[in-house]
Amino acid sequence: MTNIPKGESIAPDKNTGVEIGKTRYKINTTNNEISNLDKDLNTSGIFMEANILYISIIFCRKIEIGFCEFTK
């Protein structure tokens, strides 16, 4: 699994990202901000999905399970 240094995001551009369903996200590890790569994250319908993704990434980073591979 890729170790992501603090201050770098998982996905630096729209061509890479963490996929959950059909929506791609990136996390800025400086402020733990989640960005939706496909549309504005400020729309209320995405809030819970983003929280689930964030918890999933923390979980994956802690136990380093095989399917959690992030690109930089």
pLDDT at 15: 46
By three-state DSSP, how is residue 19 classified?
Answer: strand
Q: Which of 15, 9, 14, 22 lies closest to 57 in space, CA to CA?
A: 9
pLDDT at 72: 40
The reply to whether the predicted model has a pTM over 0.75 is no
Q: What does pLDDT average to over the chain?
A: 51
Q: At 65, is the pLDDT very low, low, confident or very high (cuts 50, 70, 90)?
A: very low
Q: Which of 52, 22, 47, 48 lies closest to 37 in space, CA to CA?
A: 22
Tokens 């901000």 sit on residue = 33
Q: Which tens digits make up the pLDDT trace of 20-58?
A: 555 555 665 566 566 655 554 444 444 445 555 555 555
